[in-house]
Chains A and B, each alone.
Chain A
Amino acid sequence: MAQRERIVGGIGADEEYWNGLERGVFQLPRCTGCKKWMWPAHFRCGACGTWDLAWEEVKPEGVVYSWTRTWYPFDRTRERSEDVPYVVVLAEIPHAGGARVMGVLSGPEDKLKIGAAVRGRILAPSPKSKGYPSITWELA
């Protein structure tokens, strides 16, 4: 695992998501009991009570669930100041229980709209993504 300063703000059960991206694998967690996709990743399946989740490789394809184009260089993401305006897409992954995964949009934006198909590409850790690997969405 590469050295990155761990961002501690969330639920904190998604470490394996980032580790997967680092290995070049897009994977999402699934309950080993009821097979429900568990996203955001958590420590216990709230549906069936199982404590074990399995990370399954998922084809990084989905549709735009929503998006925003940011024009202001916000403080806590100032590493991307030079990129404004940039678009962040919330992509819905139908074959992973409708899990929604955020990623910055790369490439042409002219077909950007809710429902548009997107394909993900894994980016290596960089200062822009705070030392984390990331997925970037492209309109298919």
Chain B
Amino acid sequence: MNVFRGATAIVGIGQTPYYKRGTSPDPELKLALRAIVAACADAGIAPQDVDGFVSYGSERNDGQKLMWGLGTKELKFGALVWTHGGGIPGALGLAASAIIAGHAEIVVVYRAMAEGSNERLRVAVAQNDTAAQYLVNGMDGPAQICAMRSQRMIEYDGVPRSCLRDMAKAAYFHAKRNPNAYGRTVDLDDQTYEASRYISEPYRLFDCSRENDASAAVILVSAERAKDLAKKPAYVLSAPIGAPHGWGAAEENMIDYTSGGFKSVAKRLWAQSGYGPKDVDVAQIYENMTGMGVAAIIDHGFCTPETAGDFIRYENLIVPGGTFPVNTSGGNLADGFIHGMGLVNEAVRQIRGESPNQVADAQLSLVTGGPGDMVVSTALLGSAATL
């Protein structure tokens, strides 16, 4: 038995409303505080007792900036996980590791974004890690880079375009029943999707996530401590981060080009958790762009490029009825985009039975990080019954 599996749990979740990008009434640091305080209230933990702070990507609201607003008694652990959205489940993994190692006892994993505060899109998304090979050649960033990878996934690997469309449709369908979803008023049918403009082929408008100003946070503690708290714990069964040989900062020369980068971490996820793709009840699949979510699903072994057309099909992706319900709050596309952090909260709600599109008797809940990132991660959360 490994020391990681089920040793920690998420016991509190918190989130601010989604604001249109650039319109948050609060600066970013205040959004972070709001989400963290809400997660503490949800967990029944005093904000000043949080002693660890973990985030990912370009988060700038570090623990040291938050601690005066939280009344932090002692900051015992703080770290940022590589790289962009790829690091989200890995941030859960690092927080859990810190608890297991005894560095800290109550660790918050969070993300806050307000374009007005830090010009995230211009400055922070880029993190100055876009190579000259892209920018010189008219490639601005993720949308175009992912588009080129998805184009080969479609044209060469033979994954049907309908998979991209159906990922978008499922997200917007779920958002209709989520009163907090930013995209809940959109009716996305085949015609609306096909008529939408191209952003960068093969992506249309509805294939792309749009940024919000918002913040989300989750609180992790040891499994032992979790038992005494108010909410049903979502145990962290596995949360590996990594990249296989031939991935990383490859400037489009990755060996497994059309992959989302998850094959190595998925292998470790299933090995450490003791579960496999067939056991998963519900999945939150990070879709910066629909096509990359499709790659993530294939990487995790839920289907192959050959079976993707049948498996990644609208009817199979929705609640109720689908065997593989994804992005049940609406996901990055239609719920809202806090650099993917909202997906973690929804993965926890499914274990608790609190989702706006609840999967009946959900016990195993998957959440995947930003696909195509230079380092990626994935996590499997489970109820007490899965331990």
CB contacts under 8 Å to A, within B144-162, are: 144, 147-149, 151-152, 155-156
Cβ B135 vs Cβ A71 within 8 A: no
In the complex, residue of chain B having the shortest beta-carbon distance to the beta carbon of A135: B137
Cβ B140 vs Cβ A132 within 8 A: no
CB contacts under 8 Å to A, within B270-301, are: none
Task: Kindly state the separation between the CA atoms of A6 and B251 in the bound complex, as whole angstroms.
Answer: 17
Q: A77-B139, A132-B136 are in contact. Are A69 and B200 (CB under 8 A)?
A: yes
Minimum Cβ distance to chain B for residue A16 (Å): 12
Dominant secondary structure at the A interface: mixed
Cβ B122 vs Cβ A75 within 8 A: yes
Q: Quick check: is A40 within 8 A (CB to CB) of the other chain?
A: yes
Q: Quick check: is A48 within 8 A (CB to CB) of the other chain?
A: no
Q: Quick check: is A113 within 8 A (CB to CB) of the other chain?
A: yes
CB contacts under 8 Å to B, within A56-92, are: 65-72, 74-77, 80, 83, 85-86, 88, 90
Interfacial chain A residues near B138, Cβ < 8 Å: 70, 77, 80, 83, 86, 88, 104, 128
A77, A80, A132 pick with most chain B CB within 10 angstroms: A77
Cβ A7 vs Cβ B143 within 8 A: no
With beta carbons under 8 angstroms apart, the residue of A9, A72, A74 that contacts B131 is: A9
With beta carbons under 8 angstroms apart, the residue of B149, B197, B200, B253 that contacts A99 is: B253
Q: Quick check: is B126 within 8 A (CB to CB) of the other chain?
A: yes
Cβ B141 vs Cβ A104 within 8 A: no
Minimum Cβ distance to chain B for residue A129 (Å): 5
Dominant secondary structure at the B interface: loop
Cβ B151 vs Cβ A66 within 8 A: yes
Task: Kindly state the separation between the CA atoms of A90 and B250 in the bound complex, as whole angstroms.
Answer: 13
Minimum Cβ distance to chain B for residue A70 (Å): 4
Task: Kindly state the separation between the CA atoms of A76 and B130 in the bound complex, as whole angstroms.
Answer: 10
Cβ B137 vs Cβ A75 within 8 A: no
A-B contact count (CB 8 A): 126
Q: A40-B253, A88-B137 are in contact. Are A7 and B132 (CB under 8 A)?
A: yes
Q: Quick check: is B191 within 8 A (CB to CB) of the other chain?
A: no
Cβ A76 vs Cβ B126 within 8 A: yes
Cβ A66 vs Cβ B137 within 8 A: no
Q: Quick check: is A102 within 8 A (CB to CB) of the other chain?
A: yes
CB contacts under 8 Å to A, within B114-145, are: 121-122, 126, 128-141, 143-144
Interfacial chain B residues near A132, Cβ < 8 Å: 132, 136
Q: A9-B126, A65-B152, A76-B141 are in contact. Are A71 and B134 (CB under 8 A)?
A: no
Cβ A11 vs Cβ B131 within 8 A: yes
Minimum Cβ distance to chain A for residue B332 (Å): 18
Q: Quick check: is A43 within 8 A (CB to CB) of the other chain?
A: no
Q: Quick check: is A39 within 8 A (CB to CB) of the other chain?
A: yes
Task: Kindly state the separation between the CA atoms of A134 and B147 in the bound complex, as whole angstroms.
Answer: 21
CB contacts under 8 Å to A, within B198-251, are: 198-202, 249-251
Cβ A113 vs Cβ B199 within 8 A: no
Task: Kindly state the separation between the CA atoms of A130 and B132 in the bound complex, as whole angstroms.
Answer: 9
With beta carbons under 8 angstroms apart, the residue of B121, B139, B197 that contacts A102 is: B139
Cβ A9 vs Cβ B253 within 8 A: no
Task: Kindly state the separation between the CA atoms of A20 and B34 in the bound complex, as whole angstroms.
Answer: 53
With beta carbons under 8 angstroms apart, the residue of A10, A11, A39, A68 that contacts B148 is: A68
Interfacial chain A residues near B126, Cβ < 8 Å: 9, 76
B residues lining the A interface (CB < 8 Å): 121-122, 126, 128-141, 143-144, 147-149, 151-152, 155-156, 197-202, 249-253, 257
* 5 A-B residue pairings within 8 Å (CB atoms): A7-B132, A10-B130, A66-B156, A72-B143, A74-B141
